[in-house]
Structure 1
Amino acid sequence: MDVLSDVLATTRTGRPVSGMFIRHAPWGRRYGRVESAGFHVVLQGSCHLLREGTEPLALGVGDVVFMPRGCEHELVDQPGTPITETAGPGEPREIPGPGPATSLLCGSYELAADRTHPLLAELPEVVHIPARLGTHPALRGAVDLLAAELAESRPGGDAAVPPLLDLLLLYILRARLAESAESAETGWAAAFADPPIAAALREVHADPSRQWTVESLGTVAGLSRAAFAKRFTATVGEAPLAYLTRWRMITAARLLREGDAPLSTVARHAGYGSEFAFGKAFKREYGTAPGRYRRDGLVLAGTA
């Protein structure tokens, strides 16, 4: 599995949700902070995104905004318009008014807070992908398909919408990485654009249980041990073996929360020869023993 797919598969949880909303000016809508990632796509008209301490962000048709940590924000037809509604369950799909209409595609994703990957952690509070002719056609296609499914109830819609939402998230992140790679010298956009570093990351994700060394990863990258360690650390932001341990713990946490494999199997998958060594490493990362972490997850699932 490639790195971005692996990151999404490991950090995504639950089912994504979405809906279409039409507001006629004047309108103002508040979105409180939530424990999930959210997005908006402007399908018709225009609006402004407001956040405390920042300048209003003007949004037009085709613009996409993604909030990876569910930050508090507001959408208004124009800066200065009073906030008259708060996003929440059961709200009407359309609210009439005297002014022009704005049509929005909105939704959210559950991302496991305890399995946050640095690729997602380094994203800003708001990722803005403006609509520009000829850019990100896959993202535009996913938006069109999703909007068509939500616009009217058709047979198979319940099966079509979740995978389309997953595709939308993937294409949002691809677009962000592609735009960032044009100027980034460090970070994950730069790592994906750097063939030796990208090759080493793919191998780590393909086989995290292998007893990797800096030298063996350098061989994969086609670099000497010292050159690889320096380049990886400067680009990714942490040393190769530190990232390897981080990824092993993230994948182990997922196996513990989402499966029933014995601890010995989880330990082997994470590259540890004994449950004891794995338990020490896991507790150092998560502050609790693997078995307790799994039991806590079962309790949370039972009360959800």
Structure 2
Amino acid sequence: MDVVSDAISAVRLGRPSSDRVRIGGSWCVRLDPYEGAGFHVVLAGECWLLADGGEPVPLGAGDAVLLPHGAGHVLADSPVDPAAAARALPLEHYRDGRAAPAPQPGRGAAAPVQMLCGKYRLDRSRVHPLLAELPGVVRLPDGVHGELRAAIDLLGGELDARRPGSSIALPSLLDLLLVYMVRASVAGAAPGAWSAALADPVTAAALQAMHADPAAPWSADRLAAEAGVSRPTLVRRFTPLVGRPPMAYLTWWRLTLAATRLRDTPDSLAAIAARVGYGSPYALSHAFVREFGTTPGRYRATLGSTPV
């Protein structure tokens, strides 16, 4: 698997949720902070988004916006200041079919806006640094990312028709939408460590090798050979971009995978150890305690999963 896919898979929990919302008139809604990632896609009309502590962001038909850290925010028919945002109504006010309030004095009624609003549950305890580096609000304008536009069109069609198989198609399309939004976010992000890491052929080759087969008996020399450079060159280029040396990153990633399997599967500790590159359950347990401050068994027990 590639780094972006792994970064998403390691933190995603359960099934995503979404609602199609249509609001007209003069309106301002509040969405509270969330332990996950939120998104909005404007299907028709125009609106504005104001994230907590941020600046107003205009959104038009076809635009998508990702809030990768679950920031609280306001959506409105026109630009709002913090004082107006404090008076915003919860989105449920409009989901319940109630009419939007009359336009405020001096403001005309904006054309109705149709949006797809949704969120993904994420485990914040193990967010990959690639995702952690994304800004609080990522606007993805219409017409720039063709594959994202295609996913939005497919999703809108399923929501409109609710054809047979929609119960499978909708969450799958929402997962696809997340991948495309994160991919577009990374590609269009301001220069940062992880965008540079994925653009650097040496660092990217080493990351790809580790993510493709984390249980392999990697060494710094073997990873350097995969990247086609010497070991000192790999360490010199990899470390400042990723934030830790190659073997330290591999250890962190193996333990992140182990935690994910403890959360998502009933696999035994021995099976997990073999899958993530540890020679014995004891070796994995010892490393796990160093990283997470608790044993694998206690970690799994707190999640309500099958004991190790």
Unaligned runs of 5+ in 1: none
1:159 aligned residue:
168
Distance 2:121 2:94 in 1: 20
1:111 aligned residue:
122
1:247 aligned residue:
253
2:244 aligned residue:
238
Deviates more, 1:135-144 or 1:229-238: 229-238
Distance 2:228 2:110 in 1: 61
CA RMSD of aligned residues (A): 2.1
The 5 Å alignment of 1:88-237 reads 88=92, 91-92=95-96, 95-96=99-100, 98-131=109-142, 133=143, 135-180=144-189, 184=191, 186-237=192-243
- Residue 250 of structure 2 aligns with an amino acid whose one-letter code is L
Distance 2:276 2:162 in 1: 44
Q: 1:36 to 1:217 in 2, by over 3 A?
A: same
Q: 1:154 to 1:281 in 2, by over 3 A?
A: same
Q: Is the 8 Å Cα contact of residues 25 and 110 (structure 2) preserved in structure 1?
A: yes
Normalised to the residue count of structure 1, the TM-score between the two structures is 0.90
- Residue 106 of structure 1 aligns with an amino acid whose one-letter code is C
Q: Is the 8 Å Cα contact of residues 266 and 305 (structure 2) preserved in structure 1?
A: no
Tell me which of 273, 279, 288 is aligned to 2:285.
279
Distance 2:171 2:50 in 1: 28
Shift in Å, 1:29: 0.5
The 5 Å alignment of 1:51-90 reads 51-80=51-80, 83-88=87-92
1:42 aligned residue:
42
Unaligned runs of 5+ in 2: 103-108
Paired residue secondary structure (1:158) = helix
How many percent identity over aligned positions?
Answer: 45
Tell me if 1:23 matches 2:23. yes
1:266 aligned residue:
272
Distance 2:174 2:93 in 1: 19
The number of aligned residues is: 295
Distance 1:14 1:89 in 2: 26
Q: Is the 8 Å Cα contact of residues 22 and 95 (structure 1) preserved in structure 2?
A: no
Distance 1:297 1:264 in 2: 19
Shift in Å, 1:88: 4.5
Paired residue secondary structure (1:144) = helix
Q: 1:222 to 1:299 in 2, by over 3 A?
A: closer
Distance 1:95 1:34 in 2: 26
Paired residue secondary structure (1:164) = helix
Shift in Å, 1:195: 2.0
- Residue 142 of structure 1 aligns with an amino acid whose one-letter code is A
Q: 1:152 to 1:9 in 2, by over 3 A?
A: same
Shift in Å, 1:247: 0.7
Deviations 1:211-244 (A, max 9, x none): 2222211111111111110101122222111210
- Residue 29 of structure 1 aligns with an amino acid whose one-letter code is V
Distance 1:84 1:55 in 2: 16
Q: Is the 8 Å Cα contact of residues 20 and 93 (structure 1) preserved in structure 2?
A: no
Paired residue secondary structure (2:29) = strand
Paired residue secondary structure (1:65) = strand
Q: 1:222 to 1:141 in 2, by over 3 A?
A: same
Shift in Å, 1:85: 2.0
